[in-house]
Amino acid sequence: MSDDEITGGGRRGTGGRPADEPVLEAVGVTKRFPVRSVVPRRGGGRRMVHAVENVSLSLYPGRITALVGESGSGKSTLARLLAQLHPLTGGEIRLHGRPVRPARGRAFRAYTREVQLILQDPFASFNPVATVASTLRRAVALHHPGTSRGEQDAVIDDLLRQINLVPARQFTEKYPHELSGGQLQRISIARALTASPAVFLADEPVSSLDVSIRLGILNLLRRLTEERNAAMLYVTHDIASARYFAADTAVMYAGEVVESGPSEAVTQRAAHPYTQLLISSAPDPSRAGAPRVRDIGQPPSLIDPPAGCRFHPRCPFAMDRCTREAPPAFDLPGGHAARCWLYADTPEARTRRAQNADAVAGLTTGSATPAEPAGQ
């Protein structure tokens, strides 16, 4: 089957938790960035951007996890923390069950052999004056020290075949500007493969690409993940593509994971009012007539996030408690969880939950795939 065909593989095996142990985990991870300001703060103390707050997430072999949310919700920061590109403010990253220590030099290179980041804009990640062959040769030499030039060329030919750029000779002597965005993204995937990683962190890998080629790249990523039994974090704004592409989905809002679980449950039975809003506001002609969730605000400032639930100023179902206490993650059936007081066992929560269920009955992501994106 070609990578351009729609397979709906993200929906396979989505019930419950995987049996395997996680490859890479974020455990209670927090990241704050100091705010650079020319004006000193009254009363002293540095202002901080609370970019990621107490996030736990596990990535499993052969399984894709989507990380979905609006711009500024902390998705890229979390991916970069998992890639060890930022130091943590709090919490722990575990690789193969063992805590990861901040690494530089050789230890950092050893980490990148296991955990590879694929970025949104392939043009920005290539040296414009290096050919495809010399870029890939550098990566092969880095991850396979001591290989001869002949051996490196054989590895490059094989990689280009795996990413469907054949005949390889047609691409190896090209410069980045001579390739399309899709071809270049395939080459950045080939570069990531040189390390034979256990984990891919794909940060919006198709959002800068033409709509017509997104499906082929996503299917390529899925095939490689399955063939290599690698784990993948798929960062995206597009919750409909998460359903199509990923077995599991975690939804981030203002630095926190507010809902997580099998993609089918998160997208077809969204429990958190923010996930419901995200689905309702994704343009999708196939959902004409479906309920619309009333949006009563904007994402908050992460310098001074709201007390209690960070979504409460924007939530049509907020209760008094939501303004004061941050909700824990409540377990729902089927490995699904929502960080929302609607799922507490109190009379008020039960009433609000019933109101919420009435308001969103029938709200699901449509059948849109990345090749036929919603509203285009």
Ligand X SMILES: Nc1ncnc2c1ncn2[C@@H]1O[C@H](COP(=O)(O)OP(=O)(O)OP(=O)(O)O)[C@@H](O)[C@H]1O
Q: Which residues bind ligand X (CB under 6 A)?
A: 33, 49, 51, 69, 71-77, 302
- DSSP E strands, the chain: 24-34, 48-59, 64-68, 90-95, 98-99, 115-118, 199-203, 231-236, 248-253, 256-262, 330-332, 336-338
**Beta carbons within 8 Å of 57's beta carbon, 6+ residues apart:** 25, 26, 65, 67, 78, 233, 250, 257, 260
Nearer to ligand X, 64 or 224 (CB): 64
CB of 46 to ligand X, least distance (A): 12
CB of 35 to ligand X, least distance (A): 7
CB 331 within 8 A of CB 344: no
What is the number of other CB atoms lying within 10 angstroms of the CB of residue 164? 14
CB of 298 to ligand X, least distance (A): 13
Whole-number Å distance between alpha carbons of 306 and 304: 7
Whole-number Å distance between alpha carbons of 122 and 154: 24
Whole-number Å distance between alpha carbons of 185 and 88: 29
Nearer to ligand X, 39 or 288 (CB): 39
Buried b (16+ CB within 10 A) or exposed e, 175-206: ebeebebbbbbbbbbbbbbbbebbbbbbbbbb
Considering only CA atoms, which of 150, 167, 155, 26 is closest in space to residue 89? Answer: 26
CB of 205 to ligand X, least distance (A): 13
| 256-262 vs 24-34, strand pairing mode | unpaired
Quick check: helix, strand or coil at residue 61? Answer: coil
Nearer to ligand X, 73 or 116 (CB): 73
Q: How far is CA 201 from the centre of its chain?
A: 7
Whole-number Å distance between alpha carbons of 99 and 128: 37
| Tokens 């993948």, located at residue | 232
Nearer to ligand X, 296 or 303 (CB): 303
Q: How far is CA 358 from the centre of its chain?
A: 30
Concatenating the DSSP letter of every residue in 134-176 gives HHHHHHHHHHSTT--HHHHHHHHHHHHHHTT--STHHHHT--G
